[in-house]
Structure 1
Amino acid sequence: MEILGYLAAILIGLVMGLIGGGGSILSVPIFVYIFGFDPITATTLSLFVVGTTSLVGTTGFMRQKLIDFRTAFIFGVPSILGVLFSRRLIIPHLPDYIINRWGITMTKDMFLLLLFAILMLISSFKMIRKTERPFGRKENGNNYTILLSQGLLVGIITGLIGAGGGFLIVPALVMLIGLPMKRAVATSLFIISMNSLLGFASSLKMITADWGFLAIFTSLSVIGIFIGIGISKKIDGRKLKPIFGYIVWVMGLFIIIKEIFFKQ
């Protein structure tokens, strides 16, 4: 099982390199169900893997001058505030039992995993849906206001469940301000790296990090993102999104069924 988990680390990076996000949504289930970490530790480790992999992936895009730093700043500042809000205020103050009455018991760990599974289902539908609204660049106040609010939302999600939020960032950059797909992917990875690494740094007091394990897992994910970036030069990542969307959909359903019906 652990070998399968390490192979999945490569897949995480591969998908991130191809479509600018999405692969990170696999990391938490891998850490919980294959390596046996609790959800708080899993989301924190996920932030490190996602952040480091994204940061390394952006180096190639920087050389190609594909990152829109102005947009990354507009989206990234409220996103960082969202991450800090989740990791400093929400996570530490969640009660051990979210619901414990009327014969219904929902622990903090179960709540986080179900929240993550719901996000996986939403993400999968966005990936499976083939139609995308074509927008040109529209630099007006309304679009940038929406971009700021979406940045805050992505930050809160990133802080809560350890997913980078690329499936939200890329469509926002394409549809709201008209970034070309490759620039949106590059800019998304840069934003994800900032959010995730900050979220990890703000959560170190909550866990005991296994740096040896993190180094191996992250290195494999970094290998994957270079493979993904290389493939993306030959294959449009959007063509592969529906396939990956179905994988995410199945995993989301698996988490919901396991946590609700087979929780020991």
Structure 2
Amino acid sequence: MEILEVFGYMGALLIGLVLGLIGGGGSILTVPILVYTLSLSPVTATAYSLFVVGTTSLIGALKNMKKKMVDFKTAIIFAIPAFIAVYLTRAFLITAIPNQLFQISGFIVSKNLAIMLFFAVIMVLASISMIRNKENEKELDAVIRYNYPLIIIEGFVVGVITGLVGAGGGFLIIPALVLLAKLPMKKAVATSLFIIAIKSLIGFIGDVQNIEIDWSFLLIFTAISVVGIFIGIWLNKFIDGKKLKKTFGWFVLIMGIYIIFKELTL
């Protein structure tokens, strides 16, 4: 086993660990780990990420269901357009994007480059969401109204983004559930995990018909990630999750900027 492959499987453990510790964020690491340590193409990596994120989030969602923390009514309203969007994106939009998009002064913008750059931008946005101070989170509780049309629209938008970059989109879902559905923060996080799990797995179904799946590798990688989430849930009893979330946010920000630099200077 090569050293990069070892780092890749260690990354799988880290993905689950972060999800268990802070209830989100681990999925944003999946694509970079699969692309840069295990040498998968961005299209394949985003597909695999949907399965890993979906399965690992499902473990957390089931735990939250036992505690009756999931708001199923809101989840269904948000999730249905998200399910449709993520499936259509993976089944049709990704395959419809040409391998070479355009050329600027001899610089070729390929499909893989565009996916990685878009993913890096999402990483930067996610990092800002995680770095924000507690006052901003408190402001989210000052809800204006219960806006179903906007919940549906945001669900569709998040579904498209999830389909394109293979990330769960929790940093978009949680504010939407708090602002538009008046859910308390803890319930929004729990409901978000449920939405992410189902949405990601449905998106992956859209890939099965287009991409050859290495099931042995994918199941091993996912199993390691699931072990990580259990370790993270246990460690969460001893570590301040708020401080960890902010620290992880800075790490994701640096990673996002690094990916942009790396992809544009190849």
TM-score, normalising length: structure 1: 0.92
**Alpha-carbon separation, structure 2, partners of 1:20 and 1:174:** 16
Structure 2 equivalent of residue 176 of structure 1:
180
Q: Is 1:5 matched up with 2:8?
A: yes
Q: Which moved more, 1:155-164 or 1:131-140?
A: 131-140
Corresponding pairs, count: 260
1:207-222 equivalent positions in 2, closer than 5 A: 207-222=211-226
Q: Which amino acid aligns with 1:176?
A: L
Distance 1:233 1:146, change over 3 A: farther
Structure 1 equivalent of residue 128 of structure 2:
125
Q: Which amino acid aligns with 2:62?
A: T
Structure 2 equivalent of residue 135 of structure 1:
141
**Alpha-carbon separation, structure 2, partners of 1:162 and 1:202:** 12
Residue 175 of structure 1, CA deviation: 2.9
**Alpha-carbon separation, structure 2, partners of 1:125 and 1:84:** 28
Residue 165 of structure 1, CA deviation: 0.4
Q: Which amino acid aligns with 1:255?
A: I
Deviations along 1:14-68, one digit per CA (max 9) or x if unpaired, are: 2223333211010001110000000110000001101111112212111111111
**Alpha-carbon separation, structure 1, partners of 2:174 and 2:234:** 19
User: Counterpart of 2:209 in 1: which secondary structure?
Assistant: helix
Q: Is 1:186 matched up with 2:190?
A: yes
Structure 2 equivalent of residue 54 of structure 1:
57
Q: Which amino acid aligns with 2:32?
A: P
Q: Which moved more, 1:6-15 or 1:37-46?
A: 6-15
**Alpha-carbon separation, structure 2, partners of 1:151 and 1:19:** 22
Deviations along 1:140-196, one digit per CA (max 9) or x if unpaired, are: 3xx222222111111001111100101111222223333222222211111011111
The answer to whether the Cα contact below 8 Å between 1:57 and 1:222 also exists between their aligned partners in 2 is no
The answer to whether the Cα contact below 8 Å between 2:140 and 2:175 also exists between their aligned partners in 1 is no
User: Counterpart of 1:98 in 2: which secondary structure?
Assistant: strand
Which runs of no fewer than 5 residues in structure 2 stay unpaired? none
Q: Which residue among 92, 95, 101 is the counterpart of 1:92?
A: 95
How high is the sequence identity, in percent, across the aligned residues? 52
The answer to whether the Cα contact below 8 Å between 1:19 and 1:185 also exists between their aligned partners in 2 is no
Q: Which amino acid aligns with 2:162?
A: T
Q: Which amino acid aligns with 1:135?
A: D
Q: Which amino acid aligns with 2:90?
A: R
Aligned-residue CA RMSD (Å): 1.7
1:1-264 equivalent positions in 2, closer than 5 A: 1-130=4-133, 131-132=136-137, 133-136=139-142, 140=146, 143-232=147-236, 237-261=241-265, 263=266
